[in-house]
Amino acid sequence: MDPMGRGAAGREDPLEKQVVDNRYRLIRRIGSGGMSVVYLAERLGIGKPIAIKFLRSAFVNLPDFVSRFEGEARACSRLSHLNCVSVIDFGVAFGSPYLVMEYVHGTLLSTVIGRGRILPERAIAIIRQILAGLRHAHTRGVIHRDLKPGNIMLVEMTGAADFVKIMDFGTAQILTGEGASRSQLGTDVGTPWYMAPEQAAGQPTDQRTDLYAVSVMLFEMLTGERPFVADDPMRVLEMHLKSPIPSLRVLRPELGISPELEAAIVKALQKQPGDRYASAEEFDAVLQKLPEVARQHGGLGVPAEPRVAPAPVPATNHEEPDLSALVPVATSEMFEPAPPQILLPRRRTGLWLALGVLVLAAVAVALYLTGVIPR
């Protein structure tokens, strides 16, 4: 039995209904890629849905692939953020390493883009959430290196239909304290259409590599096409390295994209990492000030504190999740005028003072007449 192989069409999956480590029951296969197979599963005794990813059996004897798979476990175990899919457990079963992950049900960003271009306001809101998740990951020394619409899931959460979950840190680079990579140079992998020039050239990568991919996704969301396209993937990589950045406003003038938005995308798409934004936080700060965002909120800009009430979280040593980008559309209640103040009537101090004097005078007269006060 080769449960992690590519089964014949219509053939029942031999792993379905199997129990993993006496804890997880596999329900059905829900996805597969070149390296791995993903199953919907449930935690025994609880019934909570989870996702389990197995490394394909064809790769279990290849140290490099096993190392990459284990690297994903290490990378995701460092992350605890609402915009990042979390790893719950890992182990080995049926002869293959596996990861137990948070189960996320929604719509892939690639599917949404396939339906047509996305309005700037919505696209920016989605990108800001991606940047929020990346800021958390980058702070912990984790670089994704394979950001693309197929790795971004949009789910409905806290009343927002476009709540972002970043998935698949399978090519993640984990940095040491000195900033060096644990992966060797020249072994970077990714998706050609979203790879930064330094990644395409096999050079060292860092957080600015992810920001390049984010900008490619924003370009694609706004225009419906990627900035660099060719039939040959190697030609695409060459274009990332050498071709000038296409102008969104020239390519699609009918979209009415502001010069500021185009400038933000162009800066993140610079060939040299040093010419891009230095961090996800810096990129996000620029997006907050765009005219498209100001129009979305009636010209008032983005509220500094979105009105989102997160569920209570037990005290831990982890950084609190950043919620600055979780509400893509401002609600009218954010800008309602403050309720009119109710003013209490002023006290009539003069009247009370006069009454007090009269009372004291009456008391004095009574004491005089009774002889308490000598005549």
Catalytic positions, written as ranges: 146
Please give the full DSSP string across 332-357, using - where no structure is assigned.
Answer: GGGGPPPPPP-PPPPP-HHHHHHHHH
Rg of the chain taking only CA atoms, in angstroms: 30
Pair type for strands 142-143 and 107-108: unpaired
Distance, CA of 364 to chain centre? 80
What's the rounded Cα separation, in Å, for the pair 302 and 282?
15
| AA identity, residue 154 | L
What is the sign, positive or negative, of the torsion defined by CA atoms of 83, 226, 276, 255? negative
* Mutual angle of helices 280-288 and 207-223, in 10-degree steps: 30
In Å, how far are 22, 149, 172, 249, 280 from 140, measured between CA atoms?
A: 32, 23, 12, 37, 13
